[in-house]
Chains A and B, each alone.
Chain A
Amino acid sequence: MNMLNPILARLKKMPRAALITIGLFVALGTFAPWLAPQDPSAQNLLEAGLGPMAAHWLGTDHLGRDTFSRLIIAANTSLVSVGSVLGIAMTIGIVLGTIAGYHRGWVDDLLMRIVDVGLSVPSLIISLAVIGIVGPGYWTMVLALALAWWPMSGRISRAVAVSIMSKPHIEALRVLGASPWRIYFGHLLPGTIGSVMVYATADAGTAALAVATLSFLGLGIQPPTPEWGQMLVDALPYLESDPRQVLLPGLALTAAVIGFNTLGESIALNRIPKPLTRRMLAARRLEVASWDKENSDA
């Protein structure tokens, strides 16, 4: 529970529309196999390129596959890949970040230099370089993206770890003679994981975008597994005759990313004190005036 508390506290401050979008995405992704009305890979060339109708709510693609089912299953593909990427990246980032934050000194310097370099090169170029050397495939994609993603969580967890290490209760533990293991696993790690996970959720949008981009380039999720980016590139040659098949997966992906980005922005904004507006200043003045009154009454 200790780990969940910061998450729950922050959840209350987040924009509701973004939370609903993300909730919808996660729910669709989780229950996709039961929600999809038809087999997403079943081809029927006689029914290719149809418009919306009772049997196919959003029409069919150029191979006669049901677009609605494919969009839903794609949410699942996306969710699973993003989850694995962020899971691996966060594990690497949290472990290295907390080690840097615990030890400081040259370990910290070295790790943070690596993080700096990792953050300054676009993640797409890092992951493509890895794929180019190892060869394409699902797990190559996940690992390549995780490799491009860990510096982000590494930097955040290092910052959180440093702030935890400077808190008085850690000093008290040291004075009491607690072992480094107890401080690390009992206090530093649990405290870091909670905060880093909040940031990682905000990052999920860019991760979903990266998965879709790699699939769009033909180096991520391979057909016939439906994925939004890959559905889009699949339908691109038929843009002129059937633009719906390009628009729908694009819109679905954009909606998911907007949800995560709005969430990320609100998380970032919660950290930065907002400038006072005129109305807030007036309210503050009134409040200060009332303090004065209370004091004089007493």
Chain B
Amino acid sequence: MIHFISKRLKHSLVLLFMASLVCFTLVVSAPGNVAVLIAELRGAVATPGYVEQVAEEIGLHKPLLMRYVDWLGDAVRGDFGISYRTGTDVSADLANRMFVTGTLIVGSAAIATLISLALGFLGAFWPYKLPDRVSRGLALLGASTPTFFVGALMIYGFSVTFQLLPSFGFNGPKSWILPWLTVAVLPAAVLSRVVRVGLEEAMTSPFVLTAKSKGLGRTAILFREALPNITPLFINALGTQVGLMTATAIIVEPLFAWQGLGDYFLAGVRFRDFMVVQACLLIFLTFFIVVNLIVDLAVLLTDPRIRRQWS
């Protein structure tokens, strides 16, 4: 157990190191002279002399390795430099935006879990019957509808036609519902299939046959025998989906005028604000690595088979 955790932590650290290398190389290999950009940002005419001075100041003349170490040291301490476009501190923007995106992801993950479990169980309880077909159809529809179209439909249905919920802004739980639902559609669809297929597989295993021969009812078998069996599988799939939600956030946040990380990243991409792109990318990659770590530990907790393997 301890052995597994320490091995897994080391693995994550290596991945983190690789992620930081990727982020650093991306920006270093960007075409154009960064010093000119900064010089122009400061409102000065970019004369060669001034550009030279700026380049000296931000350390462009240092060897790459030194620049990487400097950058990483700053990043670890939470200093991501200044935005080339606005001249403000990137870190100052980040804190607030991380809270917005965090709200989005946590809420959507909860909704997606509930919906997918409900749909999956519906299908598993009446396999190949009407409820199963309905749940399968909904899953196909949810997995195929573009997220931005889902968002537009949500706004049209709930805000324009019925005027129940606000269509934009980040103020209070009422304004959170539509973005939550929009982000939750795709993971709910994918996860419902995971639940359905996982349950079917569990229901054909020998231990279910034993339970049946003991005289246990269908409901009891589904919840007491099959559900604990698919929990590790579900956690694994949920982790993947939570990672993918960062991508969905990039689409959904601008749609609902939320000032989150996705919106920040998109603005950075649009205006080629390298420092913002770099900072967001590093945060996203770190997020994936951390989520994967948590998933592996959670699977270890919920799956006695794996636990026994490592003890």
A-side residues, CB < 8 A to B, are: 117, 120-125, 128-129, 131-136, 205, 209, 212-213, 216-219, 229, 232-233, 236, 239-240, 243, 246-247, 250, 253-254, 257-258, 261-262, 265, 275, 277
Complex formed: what's the CA distance from A218 to B288 in Å? 26
Complex formed: what's the CA distance from A229 to B251 in Å? 12
The number of residues on chain B lying at the interface, defined by a beta carbon within 8 Å of a beta carbon of chain A, is: 45
Is B272 an interface residue when CB atoms closer than 8 A count as contact? yes
Q: CB < 8 Å: which of A131, A209, A229, A239 contacts B269?
A: A131
Chain A residue numbers with a CB within 8 Å of B270 are: 132, 136, 218-219
The B interface is mostly helix, strand or loop, or mixed, namely: helix
Residue of B nearest to A132 (CB): B269
Chain B residue numbers with a CB within 8 Å of A246 are: 152, 156
Closest 3 CB pairs of A and B: A132-B269, A122-B247, A250-B149
Chain A residue numbers with a CB within 8 Å of B250 are: 124-125, 128, 217
Q: Say yes or no: A261 contacts B140, CB within 8 Å.
A: yes
Complex formed: what's the CA distance from A134 to B270 in Å? 11
Chain B residue numbers with a CB within 8 Å of A125 are: 246-247, 250, 265, 281, 284
Q: Say yes or no: B146 contacts A254, CB within 8 Å.
A: yes
Is B266 an interface residue when CB atoms closer than 8 A count as contact? yes
What are 19 pairs between A and B in contact, CB < 8 Å?
A120-B288, A120-B292, A124-B251, A125-B281, A128-B266, A133-B272, A212-B148, A213-B147, A216-B146, A216-B148, A217-B266, A218-B270, A233-B148, A239-B155, A247-B153, A250-B153, A254-B146, A257-B145, A258-B140
Residue of A nearest to B292 (CB): A120
Complex formed: what's the CA distance from A136 to B271 in Å? 10
Chain B residue numbers with a CB within 8 Å of A236 are: 152
Chain A residue numbers with a CB within 8 Å of B153 are: 247, 250
Q: Assuming the A-B contacts A209-B146, A219-B269, are A124 and B247 also in contact, with contact meaning beta carbons closer than 8 angstroms in the complex?
A: yes
Residue of B nearest to A128 (CB): B269
Q: Say yes or no: A239 contacts B30, CB within 8 Å.
A: no
Could you tell me the distance in whole angstroms from the C-beta of A182 to the nearest C-beta in chain B? 38
Chain B residue numbers with a CB within 8 Å of A129 are: 26, 269, 277, 281
Chain B residue numbers with a CB within 8 Å of A219 are: 269-270
Q: Say yes or no: A121 contacts B285, CB within 8 Å.
A: yes
B-side residues, CB < 8 A to A, are: 18, 26-27, 29-31, 128, 140-141, 143-149, 152-153, 155-156, 160, 200-201, 204, 243-244, 246-247, 250-251, 254, 265-266, 268-270, 272-274, 277, 281, 284-285, 288, 292
Complex formed: what's the CA distance from A129 to B265 in Å? 9
Residue of B nearest to A122 (CB): B247
Chain A residue numbers with a CB within 8 Å of B201 are: 275
Complex formed: what's the CA distance from A253 to B148 in Å? 11
- Beyond the given A217-B250, A261-B143, please list 15 additional residue pairs across the A-B interface where CB-CB is below 8 A: A117-B18, A120-B243, A124-B251, A125-B250, A128-B250, A129-B269, A132-B273, A133-B26, A133-B272, A217-B254, A217-B266, A254-B146, A257-B145, A275-B200, A277-B128
Q: CB < 8 Å: which of A136, A243, A277 contacts B160?
A: A243
